[in-house]
């Protein structure tokens, strides 16, 4: 009955963030060195919305939408026109380039929904797509699901320069080899690297030269640390139709329970995304859409305080990892850390299992993000004290299992 | 840049329900016969959740989920385990066959989400799929999007027998021709026909004989009119792995603003659906999932009263259409009517435009549901008095534009 197994083979979710509940402990006991490390469990696979709570007013906007009734329950497939109008203005201001409210915007079920629709709109069997390694794990899966071919582009994220470390020669080679789409997250997920102005300008130049379309996942671009700068690719000298930008309030704003994303830019791509959304899920949940009214409209100082608190956690974790000998890129934005593990006496997959079983720490294996089995990803949008303690347990575990 | 146009060509949404806002009036004025027909506008393209309001307690369950925080925001991709457990018991009781809570259920963003995932799980390039004509408009689009080939099966819905009118010989021929999947809505959308026990048993027998997998869209199976009976295909003598059943609380229960659907049955299909959901939208919005706690658990008498009220509207509209000479199948369930228009002096597309422009009545063109250009579909889950008045305006319009 179930044909086309390959298509679903690449969609393994067992190691995906949030799916840990489905994993059995297996024979992990036989590998254990020493006793359990006691401490408050921390699930670094995603942010803790109980530690960093949703934007003030989000729930109230939802309640108003329920009160408004049918008008808000049944929006256009691309989402409520007036909400998209508000967001278009705010995102134009944030990114530094105009956003066409009516034709150039779509509200989706999460940024994941936007990514899925954008890739579907642009990638079909045999199409070549340039993908950064490492980068958000679903990027590869999406391209493969639609039969596209991945041309990997290396990110030398540990080089420590002011650049993110994108291998521009490899990107050019991918375009020369026929890649028609470049899909990348900026800030990078899992490393927190932010592409420099120089790098983004170079990407823009290559995009123009090779007539490529860009899908820019900017999910974490608001959570930018003190003193860092961010360059929006859509504000570069590229035809508007060549860029679709994806953002959403699930991370920095902790609104993930509402499943909201937003894509803007290329009208042709957005039009296809809406056509597809009509058969994928019709629309982002109508009442939930109203929560976006709070987005980029938070109380004064709220976002700054959130950034300050995350920076504090980042700095403490970096200190712990560096002291423990774990090479780690300093994230310039976002709430991910991607430390490299030293050579271990157990395989990386088992080490991740041991972290969970023995140290009450859940992390995402680096292999989810490309050929990076010796790394682990942490989303440190968590309770500060619990995170520091869990970071120490990770270092302790690395020492116990080092070769 | 935008290749593979064909794929999106079939996904036209301009005439889809809910998209009327995007349609321009065009040159409709030039076609108008007589003055405008005054009356309260009625949008029959979808139910009016202000006339029939959401299930009592739905909003409260949502609020509790927000209060619960991260635990409810980040569920498994297939949805909260305890909510799926509750639903498995209720759906087993409703359908008369066991539901495997852990492996055999998935919560999706609306029934549309479930349909998309189920078709994706079962249909790939070149696969043949038996599709009823008429049937829910997205069925064809979904199969075509995944490169499947449609083998149409006629529904003789105007025959007036106790059967829905499925052409079983055509269904057998489709299976003989290699159809591996049979996708159908029961009750039928747009006609409200319910397949008889005899028909469902015959479908089950063919399914067994040809080793076909069934996707049964039972979205409207709860809104069953007085004295009617319903036969669940999953309770027939078919291997459990051969049937996936799709339902949701968007229609009868007016919970469409929360975007919730539920699929249950074949474990292998559900597993694929979850893998795909992980890259399509991660999960149905976490907080929203809790609203399903009200489903099949409504206050005593609530659903019966809702059915009674819909039956009253149905009967009044049928009287009006029959008096006006519009052939219409009497729906045995659901809130759709699919009257046939007599020969008109304008083309059907323009007539639908005139209904909107001149009579403040929005309907869905029959062409959305297959080769049925001379029909229109109405969702009569609306204010009773406004619906009766709008029904009279439709008859008036038909008379004005008759050949």
pLDDT per residue as tens digits for the range A8-40: 877 877 777 766 555 555 678 889 999 999 999
**Average pLDDT for chain A:** 95
CA atoms within 13 A on the CB side of B221: 23
Nearest to A268 by CA among A296, A289, A239: A239
Q: Give the residue ranges of DSSP H helices in B225-366.
A: 267-280, 286-289, 302-323, 348-359
Nearest to A142 among B12, B49, B279 (CB): B279
Share of chain B above pLDDT 70, in %: 96
CA distance linking residue A134 with residue A153, whole number of Å: 9
Chain A residues lying within 8 Å of B2, measured CB to CB: 121-122, 268-269, 272
CA distance linking residue B63 with residue A59, whole number of Å: 9
CA atoms within 13 A on the CB side of B395: 18
Cα B147 off chain centre by: 22
DSSP B87: H
pLDDT per residue as tens digits for the range A240-265: 999 999 999 999 999 999 999 999 99
| pLDDT-derived band at A1, boundaries 50, 70, 90 | very low
Residue B154: strand, helix, or coil: strand
Nearest to B275 among A8, A69, A280 (CB): A8
The pLDDT value given to residue B23: 58
pLDDT at A298 over 60: yes
Interface test with B, best of A24, A56, A72, A257 (most B CBs within 10 A): A257
Chain B residues lying within 8 Å of A269, measured CB to CB: 2
Name the E strands within A155-205: 181-185
The pLDDT value given to residue A22: 56
Nearest to B259 among A63, A69, A281 (CB): A281
pLDDT per residue as tens digits for the range B253-300: 999 999 999 999 999 999 999 999 999 999 999 999 999 999 999 999
CA distance linking residue B401 with residue B203, whole number of Å: 41
Helix (H) or strand (E) holding B35: none
> Do B3 and A77 make contact, defined as CB atoms within 8 angstroms?
no
**Closest-CA distance of chain A to residue B256, Å:** 6
pLDDT at A228 over 90: yes
> Do B278 and A16 make contact, defined as CB atoms within 8 angstroms?
yes
pLDDT per residue as tens digits for the range B171-198: 999 999 999 999 999 999 999 999 999 9
Name the E strands within A248-383: 261-265, 336-337, 361-362, 364-365, 376-379
> Do A285 and B258 make contact, defined as CB atoms within 8 angstroms?
yes
CA distance linking residue A13 with residue A163, whole number of Å: 32
CA distance linking residue A49 with residue A296, whole number of Å: 18
* B246 in Cβ contact with B93 (< 8 Å): no
* B109 in Cβ contact with B262 (< 8 Å): no
Task: List the structure tokens of B120.
Answer: 């994706």
Interface test with B, best of A137, A148, A285, A381 (most B CBs within 10 A): A285
pLDDT per residue as tens digits for the range A85-136: 999 999 999 999 999 999 999 999 999 999 999 999 999 999 999 999 999 9
> Do A76 and B18 make contact, defined as CB atoms within 8 angstroms?
yes
Nearest to A11 among B11, B127, B275 (CB): B275
Question: Residue range A332-344: average pLDDT?
Answer: 97
| Pairwise pLDDT comparison (B26 vs A246), residue with the higher score | A246
pLDDT per residue as tens digits for the range B325-379: 999 999 999 999 999 999 999 999 999 999 999 999 999 999 999 999 999 999 9
CA distance linking residue A51 with residue A294, whole number of Å: 19
pLDDT per residue as tens digits for the range B48-84: 999 999 999 999 999 999 999 999 999 999 999 999 9
pLDDT at B86 over 50: yes
Question: Residue range B306-319: average pLDDT?
Answer: 98
> Do A1 and B81 make contact, defined as CB atoms within 8 angstroms?
no
pTM, 2 dp: 0.96
Residue with the two structure tokens 């310039």: A332
Number of residues in chain A: 403
């Amino acid at each position: 009955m179930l044909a086309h197994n390959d298509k679903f083979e690449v969609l393994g979710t067992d190691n995906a963030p949030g799916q840990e509940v489905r994993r059995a402990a297996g024979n992990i006991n036989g590998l254990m060195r020493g006793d359990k490390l006691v401490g408050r469990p921390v699930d670094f696979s995603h942010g803790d919305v109980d530690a960093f709570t949703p934007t003030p007013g989000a729930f109230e906007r939802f309640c108003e939408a329920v009160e408004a009734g049918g008008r808000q329950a049944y929006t256009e497939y691309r989402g409520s026109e007036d909400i998209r109008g508000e967001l278009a203005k705010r995102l134009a201001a944030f990114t530094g380039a105009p956003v066409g409210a009516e034709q150039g915007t779509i509200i989706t079920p999460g940024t994941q929904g936007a990514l899925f629709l954008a890739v579907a709109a642009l990638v079909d069997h045999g199409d070549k797509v340039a993908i950064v390694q490492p980068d958000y794990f679903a990027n590869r899966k999406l391209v493969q699901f639609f039969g596209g071919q991945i041309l990997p582009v290396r990110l030398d994220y540990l080089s420590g320069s002011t650049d993110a470390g994108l291998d521009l020669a490899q990107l050019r080679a991918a375009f020369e080899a026929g890649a028609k789409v470049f899909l990348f997250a900026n800030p990078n997920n899992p490393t927190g690297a932010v592409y420099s102005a120089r790098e983004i300008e170079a990407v823009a130049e290559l995009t123009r030269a090779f007539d490529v379309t860009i899908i820019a996942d900017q999910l974490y671009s608001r959570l930018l640390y003190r003193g860092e700068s961010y360059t929006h690719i859509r504000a570069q000298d590229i035809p508007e139709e060549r860029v679709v930008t994806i953002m959403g309030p699930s991370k920095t704003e902790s609104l993930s329970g509402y499943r909201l994303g937003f894509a803007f830019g290329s009208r042709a791509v957005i039009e296809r995304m809406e056509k597809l959304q009509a058969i994928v899920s019709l629309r982002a949940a109508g009442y939930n859409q109203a929560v976006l009214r709070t987005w980029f409209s938070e109380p004064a100082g709220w976002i700054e305080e959130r950034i300050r608190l995350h920076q504090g956690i980042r700095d403490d974790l970096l200190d712990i990892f560096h002291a423990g000998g774990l090479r780690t890129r300093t994230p310039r934005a976002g709430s991910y850390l991607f430390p490299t593990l030293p050579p271990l006496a157990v395989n990386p997959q088992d080490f991740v299992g041991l972290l969970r079983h023995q140290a009450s720490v859940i992390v995402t294996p680096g292999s989810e993000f490309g050929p990076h089995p010796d790394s682990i990803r942490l989303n440190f949008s968590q309770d500060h004290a619990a995170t520091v303690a869990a970071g120490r347990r990770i270092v302790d575990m690395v020492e116990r299992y080092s070769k």
